[in-house]
Structure formats: structure tokens, C-alpha cells
Copies of this chain bind each other. A is one copy, B any other.
Amino acid sequence: MNSLPSRVFETAVNELAKLPGIGRKTAMRMALHLLKSRREDAEAFGMSIIRMHNEIRYCIECGNISDEELCTICNSPKRDKSMVCVVEDIRDVIAIENTGQFSGVYHVLGGIISPMEGIGPNDLHIQGLIEKVESGVVAEIILALPTTIEGDTTNFYIYKKLHASAIHVTTIARGISVGDELEHADEVTLGRSIVNRTLYENTIRKKNQ
């Protein structure tokens, strides 16, 4: 594609095209949208990104993003500190919070072990998790990492580090999505859903709770 007729426009398009999943054509549409918007709005847009990067803090307990030293979850007296859900990043925290099914606290690793991308255990917040367990407040660790080789590797690494302590290490259930048809499920998921079948009785009980 030819270069654009204005350098400042070109720069903005290039910056927008760096966003995940955004190609050059979409970036151009976005830049044009911002150009057509009012000056204050374009300013608010640009400043919101800069301010976010400069002012955001991370909860010293769980690594979740926060405006204070402790995030709203870790700071809440209603949350069960003995149950810790281990996730890759804050998007997972938000996703699980939206279910309204979890009353424990989180531990955000900030990534998963990936030799391909040069991410080792020391690049992640795993030490903090171990210290949390050693302090004695934790009864159960729920691993909610992605079902990839990297996720499995990280699960196993954490399990090895923790299995000597007297806590439960569980993983979230993998199975057929609610509403999905069996014929469309992949073999691995379908296989796991049979191996890890649950008592029908328990399903009814949970529904009626």
C-alpha cells in the first residue's frame, strides 16, 4: 500500500495497526474516526492510554490491576482467602468474576511458562504463590490456566512446587460447553468429559442450590 498523504496521519495509523487483531485498513478507519471526532474526545482517547500506563497499580497480594495497594477482591472481607484461583492474566480474573460463582481470591501469574517465547518460571509471579501457601492461610489452589502445552507445563511446575504442602491442588473442569452438541466437540474435550464424568445426582443438587 502506498504511503499516506500526511505523516501525522500515517503515524497514528501505524500505532493503531499495532493493536492485536487490527490490520492496516481497520487502523485507517479508526484513525479517520478519531480525526472526525471532536478535539477533546481525541485528546481524552490519547490521554486515557497514557494515564492508564502511568497510573495503574498492581495488587501486592494477587497481582490483579488495582487503584490501591490491595485490589477490591483481596480487600473484601467477604472473600475466602483460603481458596486461591491461579490465572494467567487479569482478563481471566474478570471472566471468572463475571460468572459470580467464585468467592475465593486470585493469584495472577502474569503469563505462563513458554520456552518458545523465552518465558521461564522466574519471569512469572510463582514465588509469591509459594510464599502465600507456606504462610499457611491457603487450603486449596485452583489452577485455571489454558489447556495448552504451556498451560499444562505451568500447571505441572506449580503442582511440583506445592504438592509437598498439605493443600488441595485442583484444576477447573474441562468438558463439553453448556448448550454445545456432542458431535461438534473435539475428541480431546469429549474424551476428558467422559473420563471426568460427574454424578448426575450432584448436577441436580447444584442446579437447585
Interface residues of A in 176-194 (CB under 8 A from B): none
Q: Which of A49-57, A113-121, A142-150, A156-164 contacts B (4 or more CB under 8 A)?
A: A49-57
CB-defined interface of A6-49 with B at 8 Å, one 1/0 digit per residue?
11110110110011111000101111111100010111111111
Nearest Cβ in chain B — how far from A195, in angstroms? 31
Nearest Cβ in chain B — how far from A50, in angstroms? 4
Given the complex of chains A and B, what is the CA–CA distance between A99 and B43 in angstroms? 34
**B11 & A51 in contact (Cβ 8 Å cutoff):** yes
**B6 & A67 in contact (Cβ 8 Å cutoff):** yes
**B73 & A5 in contact (Cβ 8 Å cutoff):** yes
Taking residues whose C-beta sits less than 8 angstroms from the other chain, chain A's interface range is 35 or more
Given the complex of chains A and B, what is the CA–CA distance between A4 and B56 in angstroms? 12
Known contacts A93-B5, A94-B4; decide if A54 and B39 are in contact (CB<8 Å).
Answer: yes
Q: Which of B11, B21, B71, B98 contacts A52 (CB 8 A)?
A: B11
A154 at the interface (CB under 8 A from B): no
Residues in chain B near residue A31, CB distance under 8 A: 49, 52
A140 at the interface (CB under 8 A from B): no
Known contacts A19-B33, A20-B29, A30-B19; decide if A5 and B90 are in contact (CB<8 Å).
Answer: yes
A1 at the interface (CB under 8 A from B): yes
A residues apposed to B, CB below 8 Å: 1-2, 4-9, 11-12, 14-15, 18-22, 26, 28-35, 39, 41-57, 64-67, 71-73, 89-91, 93-94, 97-98
